[in-house]
């Protein structure tokens, strides 16, 4: 990525212009990963409504999503008439994990939880990012302590690509205001105090006073609450 493009993305602070500029000035593979949370729906809306067809939108279907997540996935396809490519975990690896450890083994140890995350999310992500040079994400600084040190544009040495976090400095209020303004479909679990929504067995609504990530893997030490997608 050239210096001019990096500087533009870092300093413009206009999502519509940034994505349009990126799509029209970068000739290598660009991908955006969506899990259909409110942040991802903002970015999907911009990509789809501007017809930025050279940005591939994909999702990692773990097979254990909430029904509400599949519903907003379907609504998004119907509203924009665009494709979202789905990547799935290796069937044999899922079968072996469940047959050896049990259907909900991830509750038992951190190691088993991380193994499940690796099979269902991290390994498929590797396939989804193959050949990509820019990976767009919906990460925001206020989502967790681990994310408030992120930069808007980062070089991922392990994956050999640039990671672009366009909503890094957006607040939750900014995101919600945007969704309402443009009539963007969203996961109705957000109305029930679910904030970060992942697999159904590993996600719950927040209780009063809890932080953003408390609803994910709530039975674990909060310092370990990442699945491996964003290292």
Handedness of CA 27, 155, 18, 213 (dihedral sign): positive
CB 120 within 8 A of CB 112: no
Residue 85 phi, psi dihedral angles, 5° rounding: -80, 130
| 227: annotated active-site residue | yes
Residue of 116, 117, 199, 227 marked active site = 227
Reduced DSSP (H G I as helix, E B as strand, rest coil) percent helix, strand, coil of the chain, to 5: 45, 10, 40
Strands of the sheet with 55-60, listed across from one edge:
85-87, 55-60, 30-33, 134-136, 161-164, 153-156
CB of 166 closer than 8 Å to CB of 15: yes
Residues acting as catalytic residues: 227
């Amino acid at each position: 990525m050239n210096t001019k493009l990096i500087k533009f993305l870092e300093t413009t602070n206009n999502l519509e212009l940034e994505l349009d500029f990126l799509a029209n000035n970068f000739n290598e593979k660009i991908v955006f990963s969506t899990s259909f949370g409110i942040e991802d729906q903002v970015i999907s809306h911009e990509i789809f409504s501007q017809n930025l067809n050279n940005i591939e939108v994909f999702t990692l279907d773990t097979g254990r999503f909430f029904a509400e997540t599949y519903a907003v996935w379907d609504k998004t396809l119907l509203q924009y008439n665009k494709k979202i490519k789905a990547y799935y975990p290796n069937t044999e690896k899922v079968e072996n994990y469940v047959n050896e450890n049990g259907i909900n083994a991830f509750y038992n140890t951190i190691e088993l939880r991380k193994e499940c995350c690796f099979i269902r999310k991290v390994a498929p992500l590797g396939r989804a990012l193959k050949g990509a040079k820019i990976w767009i994400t919906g990460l925001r600084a206020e989502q967790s302590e681990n994310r408030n040190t992120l930069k808007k544009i980062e070089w991922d040495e392990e994956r050999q690509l640039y990671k672009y976090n366009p909503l890094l400095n957006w607040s939750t209020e900014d995101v919600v205001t945007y969704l309402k303004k443009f009539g963007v479909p969203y996961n109705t679990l957000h109305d029930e105090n679910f904030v970060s929504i992942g697999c159904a067995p590993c996600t719950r609504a927040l209780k009063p006073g809890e932080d953003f990530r408390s609803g994910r893997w709530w039975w674990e030490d909060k310092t370990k609450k990442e699945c491996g997608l964003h290292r």
